[in-house]
Amino acid sequence: MKLNFDFAVQEVADMFVAVAKDRETGDPQKVFRLNETGATIIEALQEGSDEEAIVARLTREFNVDEATARKETAGFIQMLTDNGLASL
């Protein structure tokens, strides 16, 4: 999985806002809201983590079972791909 943009993620009140920025120009391309899980997944992807590492991180940081973490990770990655923000 490869992110197609650089992401800046900022916590605002009780949510996170992510800005997808063009890698060459730094210009913002898309802005969207995230929950804490989504922000963690974006951060992990930017660090180069694969899906298995992300699942392990979610189970550890959010105290959820592996099946839930796997479902959340797969769904979020699919959303990124569907919106052109990432490539498989």
pTM: 0.92
Closest residue by Cα to residue 62 from 73, 50, 76, 74:
73
pLDDT tens-digit map of 34-88: 999 999 999 999 999 999 999 999 999 999 999 999 999 999 999 999 999 999 8
Q: What is the DSSP letter of 20?
A: E
Exposure of 10 in the CB half-sphere (CA atoms within 13 A) = 5
DSSP 3-state of 64: coil
